[in-house]
Amino acid sequence: MTVLLLGGTADARHMACDLHEQGVILIYSIAGLVRQPDVPCDIVSGGFTQFGGLAQYIAKQNITAILDITHPYAANMSDTAGKVAHEMGIPCWRYTRPAWEASEGDKWIAVDDWTQLLPQLRDKTSVLLSCGQVEQSILNALLAQSVNQHIVLRTAVKPRFNLPASVEWIKAIGPFNKASELALLKAHNIDAIISKNSGGKAVVAKLDAARELTLPVFMFTRSTISRVDENFTDSARCRKFVIAQCAHKKNKDRETFTRKEISLLGKAKRRGKREFTVVNDRLSTFLTPHRSERTFVGRFHENMSDSYETNPQSIEKESFRQIRALTTLDGLSREQQQVVMRIVHSMGMPEVAQQVRFSEGACEQGLKAIAEKANIICDVEMVKQGITKRMISKEPLCFLNDERTVALAKQTGETRSMAALAYWGEHLAGSIVVIANAPTALFRLLEMIEAGCEKPALIIGMPVGFVGAAESKDALWAAHKRLGVACITLLGKQGGSAVSAAACNALLRCHQGEYY
């Protein structure tokens, strides 16, 4: 069972980590406007339009359920998710962060929309907009009704239009504390705050500050989300439910068929629908209708193909034959060709071969490190799990979920991927570093090498995403000669766990003498 987790919130990140630890197969979706999340699963960034829409993505990725943990005010995304899930015949579950509740001394005014809010702001002279992105037409209408009004707009991403002179933009990402919020409100003489009832602890400090200063808070009400099969406001209950659903689906799948059993049934001559019982614990040779000590029931339509390739070696061999035919590998060494083909194989996109870059002697450095049983250090657990275990002598290292990393990230306010590098130092010398998901980790590694830390033998730098991914790889490629490090990278926004693990596995296979 593959769950598409619609994220973009701290709740979603925590849920993704928890579910992954319980063996739930996830794909984490994020808009990618602010920053890439540190989650130990595959990530899709930038929305679904690039894939032809959400329905097309669900079909292509064989998604079997949607878990919506987007922002409480991401109503359009939530409505689309519920509608598409219903049309595709898969469940859509939602966790909604509990709303804030007013306390004694709060001066909250509930509003449904800007049309209802604007007239109530006419007498305000300095307004803090702490409610996400605001359309240009809204700002214009706000300023038009009060010429002397000063507006402070606080968002994580800068607006895409030029702001009027009376609008001051502040870039900020929570969490915030009460002291800093009080300082902000006093410095700008704020006399009204516009907010969404987002819930949670990250930005609640503005309400505590508003209460102390007896400021009015105009609070947008939450809209009702339709088409949800299960809705949770308790994260523990949500987590327990999803784990149970995935376990149930896994057991149901086991009762239905296995690959070998499909192969046997696929070769049998059938008309219409029949029930077959597979006999023999080894699933050796024959099918007997309706009789057995070990029952296996599978229903197949007569239009199902009777013949398809099941031999893994044959499948792999044919895959790489096609890849060679579809890509240009001229000028690459034997080992470089293997790396490029494995990357193409992991993505199903021959065109990405032109984006792979090798520094001089990169493959040789990697093979030497493998022969010396050097450490393999990964930025995320997904890469660690993707490295072929039969080809390595010791477990790859990943410090992302280390308790020290979690504590340090909270203390510094930076990503866990960056904080984890504080514990790489003693393992770096002569290692193979594989960075697949976190551009911040790659930037931090380059900073550390610049500052004089031990150097790895090879950096496989292929983070994926829209914010910082391409830039971090450009930085690696531009600096590798000056820093004296070998690298393999995939330029552009593409990359990720599967791609990076495939590149590492290609070198491991070359070391074992396995070439295609």
Q: Are 347 and 515 in contact (CB under 8 A)?
A: no
Name the one residue in this structure whose structure tokens are 């099941």: 310
- Rounded Cα distance, 467 and 252, in Å: 40
Nearest residue to 20 via CA among 238, 230, 232, 243:
243
- What are the backbone dihedrals phi and psi of residue 247, each rounded to the nearest 5 degrees, phi first? -65, -40
Structure tokens at 375: 């450490």
Q: Are 497 and 470 in contact (CB under 8 A)?
A: no
Residue 44: helix, strand or coil by DSSP?
strand
372, 377, 382, 385 alpha-carbon torsion, rounded to 10°: 30
- Rounded Cα distance, 146 and 20, in Å: 51
Number of residues written out for the chain: 516
Which residues does the annotation mark as catalytic? 345
Structure tokens at 436: 């697949």
- Rounded Cα distance, 188 and 127, in Å: 9
Structure tokens at 341: 């083909």
Cα angle: 343, vertex 349, 354; to 5 degrees:
70
For residue 217, what are the β-bridge partners? 108, 193
Q: Are 100 and 197 in contact (CB under 8 A)?
A: yes
Report CA torsion sign: 109, 115, 119, 123.
Answer: positive
Report CA torsion sign: 137, 140, 145, 149.
Answer: positive
DSSP one-letter string for 307-349: -----HHHHHHHHHHHHHHHS--TT--HHHHHHHHHHHHHHT-
Neighbours of 379 (CB within 10 A): 33
